[in-house]
Structure 1
Amino acid sequence: MLFETTYNEQEKLWQGAQVDLIFEPHITIGDFVFKAFKDNPANNCQIWHEKDQVVTNEEALKFSIRLAQYFRDEGLTHKDVVGVLTRNNIHEAHVLFACFFNATPFHAVNPNLEPDAIAALYAITKPKLIFCDGNDYEFIKSITVEWNPKICTLINHIANVPRIEDHLEPTSTENVYTPKRLVLGADQTMGIICTSGTTGIPKAVTLSNAQLVLLATSGGTNDVIFTGTSFDWISAIKTALIGVVSGAPRIVSTKPFSVERYVEIVRKHKVTTCHLSHWQFQEVFSSPLATPENLSSLQIIAYGGGWVSASVVQRAQRILENAVFVFLYGTTETDMISTAINPTEDNLVGFLMPTRSVRILNEQGDFLGPNEIGEIVIKTNQNWNGYYGNAEQSANTRDSNGWFHMGDLGYFDSDNNLYVVDRKKNLLKYKSIHYTPNDIEKIIMEMLEVYAVCVVGIRDKFFNEIAGALIIKKSNSLLSEQQVIQYVAKRIPVEYKQLHAGVRFVDSLPLNHNGKILRNVAKEMFQQLRIPKASL
């Protein structure tokens, strides 16, 4: 079985299926893309939603080759970096493929990050060439004065600034072009993306060729793929690559994600497979627009990147009874770790992916057994080149034995299902007892009038940290603070998980660019609202 997880009781070690992975170490991801385009030139590669513009494999291959030849002529090699700072658009993938063809790493950064974070990230990698939106040109120019890269616009072009179309004209040698070979072998860095940055400036995570060629092909030319994430997410990169290899066209939308636009795209293009971040999934399937009629074409809905309420997943399953829902648990550093097919329980992340090994550690570093909560540590079957330019943090994340310490708390049940209960850094302490905000959050999310919640720990001179809840109510809700406090008290009988700090109703929660809650900011927000502490 592909997703069978086994447990070695003596070693207290859980392992995914030990399958033979079909890829040659010397074959580059550029070769995979190049061959897929060559073999099926008439297939549609991308469809630009806003303009109804279709790009075939033949056209995508030509554009990508011409860009790769431009990179070569600029002297770019595996030692250089190409920066990509842009909202989704149809030429972004051509830059990505051209980097693969030329074996030059790309560094994709989300333009919605704080300006200081973008500046810090590019100061680490110092790209020699950066592709961006015209709207961001002056900003990029201002933060790269130190090394003065060439800057090229992908969309929203401005006068007297190079644009991508300048490099898409036919060349005399494009028909005999072949992708560059790997200089450093299968572990050569081919891409750089960013961590979520919930605890500070995001880190630049390297992606090796070996990581990128591990693709689970699915679907075919009758399928249509859409993802609501951009190329600073590994899921978006792999979704695009899976589409190319399997022959399924990918829908591209340049506008920000919204439920209305998502439904419009699914209906118009009859999307069969989509990948959503956790917050996008919750927004879609909490919306009245999520109906069988609007979403009838969907067959596979993959989602991940954070916690999703089981009640929302169950509603989605009722709406699309014949669709397959796939929760993907992973990290930027490790790629996918486990998957849960049609999950119905909170915190369930399922069976381990092939070749993954996991242990559960307590605070003393001892290995734990089934149904014991501790830190999840992960081992993959691949080398990792670490955080670009940050050897110290790389060593802190992956120890000398190859185990990744990502800071998640969880456990395996008796059937070898993995559960993630919260982040280690989110752990709270009431008197001498530890508890996680997620335990309370999932109970509050059971209330039909709650749209979103964040539980924070408020310092207390007698009890260490007492729980308080920031809640976004659904429209027209009359939900009160006492109703929430009493519901939690009824559902969770233990004293240390009660809402001793009370409830604050807010219009929004502080989120980063990936939709993850900034808990430190949420804690400050809670304290500033100055509502008297509730009594139980």
Structure 2
Amino acid sequence: MATEDAFPIQEHHSNPHKRSGYCPKTGIYRSLLHLSDGIDIPKSPNLDLAKFIFSHFPHPDRALTQIALIDSATDQQLTYAQLHRSVRSLAAGLHHGLGVGKGDVVLLLSPNSLLYPVICLAVLSVGAILTTANPLNTEGEIVKQVRDSGAKLAISAPEEVHKLKSTGIPTIVTTEKGKDDPDAISIEELLDKCEPLDIPSMGSTQSDTAALLYSSGTTGFSKGVVLTHANLISIIALLRWTVQITGSTNDVYLAFLPMFHVYGLAFFALGLFTVGTTTVLMPRFDLRAMLDAIHRHRVTNIPAVPPVILAMVKIAREGGPQLSSLRRVGCGAAPLSGDLANEFRAQFPWVELRPGYGLTESSGATTFFVSDRDARERPRSVGTLFPGFCAKVVDVDTGAPLPPNRQGEFLIKSPSVMKGYLKNDEATSSAIDGDGWLHTGDLCYFDDDGFIYIVDRIKELIKHNGYQVAPAELEAVLLTHPHILDAAVIPAEDEESGQIPVAYVVRASHSRMTEDQVIQFVASRVASFKRVKKVRFTETIPKSAAGKILRKQLVAQYHHTPSKL
């Protein structure tokens, strides 16, 4: 395992601007971290993502026995050699048998499985473009994605095929089991019948599109995020660096994050194969199944999201399993409160918890904690910029750059920033300005040492009596109450104050907590202008697959549902 002294740390200077990486002349923050020897972001324009990944597979002798993937439900395993052969066989079937080639868009609609990474890598190997869809989406949402992306072929789990029938595009099912049409082609059949032939070079370059990922649309309709081979190569190179410097090379990872999401795709369907680790796959998150998988497979590393962190804390409070094998937990995709981070560390003191920040538009990552010590000392931070990243913090109203400890919109620039939104020039120009800065829409600030703190989404700030109230801050307070299992805060229009904070709360099964008790609990812990004014009790908080609260659903629910006490 790497030691603290071996980490590439930020240089320490007496000048606070040098410690933060901030340049007062340009208003730009630059990462002070550097990639380790032996890891770089390739510059060759003629490199594609599949070739990059395969170039870092284990040596053929080791690949024969090194386990790449384990199915948590069936214990079926794939070695790296078997994975490589399967990808080549499927790529041959797609290209020679079905005519899939460079620039064709292939839609993948399936939960996590051993076949998911095989399909992703095979699609990329023939120069095609991958677009992944959420199996929980409605038929209408799937149809919209097919049409918007221009998909030529769909690959679907048998139970989801009905959502594609109205599109009229050719569809392959993933498995023989469960398919309705006995004549339908399956991925399993292609793997069984196709030889792993060499695919002629498709001439894909780093500037070509590799994936079309549809953002979660928490504040509006989802948009197709265009990610190039260069975008994903750069983020996987950074993943290789993080595995190396955190001593995670021999870790056993657990994958319950959906691979259709950029977080799961970059980690489990693509990136971790470049460091030769073993990943245990779950089709979806289930707390008991997760605990069982950790125990049976001696899992050491879990990339997670805040709802999973909360669930682990609650199970530990109840005297659940010790999870003694676990060594590292990452957290991203949605804000993790400092209080929840502290409680997780109290319950699992032997585990390194490293929150991070990223978004689909940045290929999934922007910040990272190199040192576990730094993460423990700054529980509300999401770490520092990845090597090669630049950032600005700008005034929300004027756009003026801001120095450390001043809140403003977070702007980033890096090799991983998307090409743009598919067929949406207006949205693209709104997100990426003329100088190439991606406007994240998140309110943040840097401290004097270059650590970044995400306050909330700018569009989700509640405007109360001229003040700005961050829903995430109030949610963090609510979740500290032992009778509150989950919570979300939304704005509600108010004639006198403009907007007021309204809390949606999931009570523990035994609790008889009242609205007034919730209001008083929060009031005793925040400034007067931040106080919750109304409370609605609910059974669940609607969230995206990545764990982000779907506030627009709660806002609509608020206008149609009376108080439930």
- The more displaced of 284-293 and 155-164 is 284-293
Matches within 5 A, 1:390-469: 390-469=424-503
**Are the equivalent residues in 2 in contact too, given 1:307–1:347 (CA < 8 A)?**
no
Deviations 1:118-174 (A, max 9, x none): 2111111222221111111122122x12xx334333463332211112211355563
In the alignment, is residue 129 of structure 1 matched against residue 162 of structure 2?
Answer: no
Pick aligned residue for 2:214 from 194, 198, 216? 194
1:297-336 to structure 2, matched below 5 A, reads 297-335=325-363, 336=365
Matched, 1:156 2:178: yes
| Correspondence list, 1:59-74, <5 A | 59-73=82-96, 74=98
Match of 1:52 in 2: 75
Contact 1:66 1:167 in 2 (8 A): yes
Pairwise CA distance, 1:212 = 2.0
What are the equivalent positions in structure 2 for 1:92-131 lying under 5 Å apart?
92-131=116-155
Q: Which amino acid aligns with 1:195?
A: S
Aligned-partner SS, 2:164: helix
Q: Alignment partner of 2:535: what SS?
A: strand
Sequence identity of aligned pairs in percent? 24
Question: Does the 8 A contact of 2:412 with 2:438 survive in 1?
Answer: yes
Find the aligned partners of 1:179 and 1:383 in 2 and give their Cα distance: 30
Asked if 1:42 corresponds to 2:42, the answer is no
Structure 1 residues 198-347: aligned runs within 5 Å? 198-214=218-234, 215=236, 216-217=239-240, 218=243, 222-240=250-268, 241-254=270-283, 256-288=284-316, 293-335=321-363, 336-340=365-369, 341=372, 342-343=375-376, 347=380
Decide whether the 8 Å contact of 1:224 with 1:272 is kept in 2.
Answer: yes
Match of 2:388 among 355, 373, 382: 355
Q: Quote the offset at 1:475 in angstroms.
A: 2.7
Counterparts of 1:417 and 1:223, CA distance in 2: 27
Deviations 1:371-424 (A, max 9, x none): 211111111135632122323222221111101112101111222221111101
Asked whether the equivalents of residues 225 and 418 of structure 2 are also in contact (C-alpha less than 8 Å), the reply is: no
State the distance in 2 between where 1:18 and 1:400 align. Answer: 27
Do the aligned partners of 2:316 and 2:347 also contact (CA within 8 Å) in 1? Answer: no
Q: CA deviation at 1:529?
A: 4.1
Do 2:504 and 2:538's aligned partners in 1 also have CA atoms closer than 8 Å?
Answer: yes
1-structure distance, mates of 2:542, 2:265: 27
Letter aligned with residue 69 of structure 1: A
Query: Could you tell me which amino acid in structure 2 is paired with residue 70 of structure 1?
Result: G
Matched AA of 2:505: I
User: How far 1:178 sits from its partner (Å)?
Assistant: 5.7
Higher share in helix? 2
Partner of 2:30 in structure 1?
A: 15
Partner of residue 516, structure 1:
548
- Looking at structure 2, the residues matched to 369 and 497 of structure 1 have their Cα atoms a distance apart, in angstroms, of 26
Shift of 1:3: 5.9
Q: Indicate the larger mover: 83-92 or 16-25.
A: 16-25
Distance 1:347 1:54 in 2: 39
Instruction: Quote the residue 2:538 is aligned against.
Output: 506
Contact conserved, 2:216 with 2:544, CA < 8 A, in 1? yes
Stretch moving more, 349-358 or 443-452: 443-452
How far does residue 482 in structure 1 lie from its aligned partner after superposition? 2.0
What is the TM-score normalised by the length of structure 2? 0.87
Instruction: For residue 286 of structure 1, give the secondary structure of its aligned residue in structure 2.
Output: helix
SS in 2 for 1:522: helix
Residue-by-residue CA offset, 1:72-109 (whole Å, 9 max, x unaligned) = 21332221111100011111111011122222111111
- What is the alpha-carbon distance in structure 1 between the residues aligned to residue 480 and residue 417 of structure 2? 42
Question: Shift of the alpha carbon at 1:252?
Answer: 1.6
**What residue number does 2:16 align with?**
none
> How far apart in 2 are the matches of 1:213 and 1:179?
21
Instruction: Give the residue type in structure 1 aligned to 2:137.
Output: L
Call closer, same or farther: CA 1:525–1:49 in 2, change over 3 Å. Answer: same
3-state secondary structure, aligned to 1:260:
helix
Unaligned 5+ segments in structure 1 are none
Normalised by the length of structure 1, the TM-score is: 0.91
Letter in 2 for 1:130: A
Seen in structure 2, the aligned counterparts of structure 1 residues 135 and 531 have a Cα distance that, compared at 3 Å, is: closer
Q: Give distance in 2, aligned partners of 1:38 and 1:96.
A: 22
Q: Equivalents in 2 of 1:347, 1:120: separation in Å?
A: 38
* Structure 2 letter corresponding to 1:503: V
Aligned CA distance change for structure 1 residues 170 and 416 (closer, same or farther; 3 Å): same
Query: What per-residue deviation string (whole Å, max 9, x for no partner) do you get for residues 299-322 of structure 1?
Result: 111111112232322222123222
Deviation of 1:346 (Å) = 6.0
Is 2:501 aligned against 1:479?
no
Q: Deviations over 1:39-59 (max 9, x none)?
A: 323211111111111111121
Q: Which amino acid aligns with 1:120?
A: K
C-alpha RMSD of the superposition? 2.4
Aligned-pair CA distance for 1:222: 4.1
Unaligned regions of 5+ residues in structure 2, if any? Answer: 1-6, 11-19
- Matched position secondary structure for 2:315: coil
Residue of structure 2 equivalent to 1:368: 402
Q: Judge which range, 321-330 or 218-227, deviates more.
A: 218-227
